[in-house]
Amino acid sequence: MKYRIGLDLGSTAIKVVLVKGQAIEWSRKVPTAPGQEHLAMGLVKDALDQFGLSDRDIDKVSATGYGKKLVSSAGHTVDEISANAQGMFALSEGRCRTIINIGGQDLKVINLADNGKISDFRMNDKCAAGTGRFFEQVARILDTPLESFGEMSLKADDALELNSTCVVFAESEIVSLLAKGVKKENIIKGLHYSIARRITHLLGRQTTDGDIYLDGGPSQNPGLLDALEDELLMEVKVLPQPQFTVAFGAAIS
């Protein structure tokens, strides 16, 4: 069986997967930067080298994400919503009915019908709050690595209420909380709950129909997942490689 390659040229990260059948054999990401085609094709070369493959072993190279048109070597492009829907439906073995995708710069909710087709879609790309960029900015203000947010918020001893979800106001609110001696753990937990409430709002009423899956880079934060499940009073599932669902969906489409 031949392999397929999926490229997801996101606002914040370029993701590449090597796929055989319905399985992700290899995945890697790099931060988005100028020269996106060069960066993406560099990752493809790494995959081929690692598996001892040549171009002849590759059936199809598909690109998605906001930079998809920048890769002339991809023979096929797929819009990110379709790629996300196809990828998640296949990886969840047909169980997913709602996808919450948190990307670097936007927040999306995609509802799926029983056959995996998109039945509804909503996006918040007007405001950075709740997106990966927002988390990165808060990580800088708190001088704390983003990767430790999950663990830290689970150690919080107070459910602090953050009033601002706007990036600009949140920054000054966090600075003043730090000045008052509020623990970083409690600020991070408050942040997760305020973002979880925004997501719940975007989800609307269709939340109870079938299984909900969270994907995109920030879904690797267990503190955010915890807050979201608390707000929704429902289980929210995260697959093992949640940042690569969209690249996988492009590869299998």
Summarize as ranges the residues that interact with ligand ADP (CB under 6 A). Answer: 10-13, 65, 103-105, 132-133, 135-136, 146-147, 216-218, 220-221, 243
Q: Which is nearer to ligand ADP, 6 or 10 (CB)?
A: 10
Contact 249, 6 (CB under 8 A): yes
CB of 138 to ligand ADP, least distance (A): 10
CA distance 6 to 158: 43
Number of residue whose CB is nearest ligand ADP: 217
User: Minimum CB separation from ligand ADP for residue 114, in Å?
Assistant: 26
| Residue 221 near residue 198, CB atoms below 8 Å | no
**Cβ of residue 66: shortest distance to ligand ADP, in angstroms?**
7
Residues with Cβ within 8 Å of residue 240, at least 6 apart in sequence: none
Least distance from C-beta 79 to ligand ADP, angstroms?
Answer: 13
Q: Rounded to an integer, what distance in angstroms lies between the CA atom of residue 175 and that of residue 1? A: 55
Q: Among all chains, which residue has been given the structure tokens 């690797």?
A: 220
Closest to ligand ADP by CB, 2 or 31 = 31
Nearer to ligand ADP, 13 or 48 (CB): 13
Q: How far is the CB of 27 from ligand ADP (least distance, A)?
A: 12
- CB atoms inside a 10 Å sphere around CB 50: 12
Q: Which is nearer to ligand ADP, 57 or 105 (CB)?
A: 105
Q: How many CB atoms sit inside 10 A of residue 52's CB?
A: 7
Q: In the complex, what is the shortest distance from the CB of residue 158 to ligand ADP, in angstroms, rounded to a whole number?
A: 22
On the 0-12 / 13-18 / 19+ scale of CB atoms within 10 A, 160 is: middle
Q: Smaller CB distance to ligand ADP: residue 104 or 130?
A: 104
Pull the structure tokens for residue 172: 């000054």
User: Is 44 or 242 the residue whose CB approaches ligand ADP more closely?
Assistant: 242
Determine which helix (DSSP H) or strand (DSSP E) holds 36, and give its type and residue range. Answer: helix 36-51
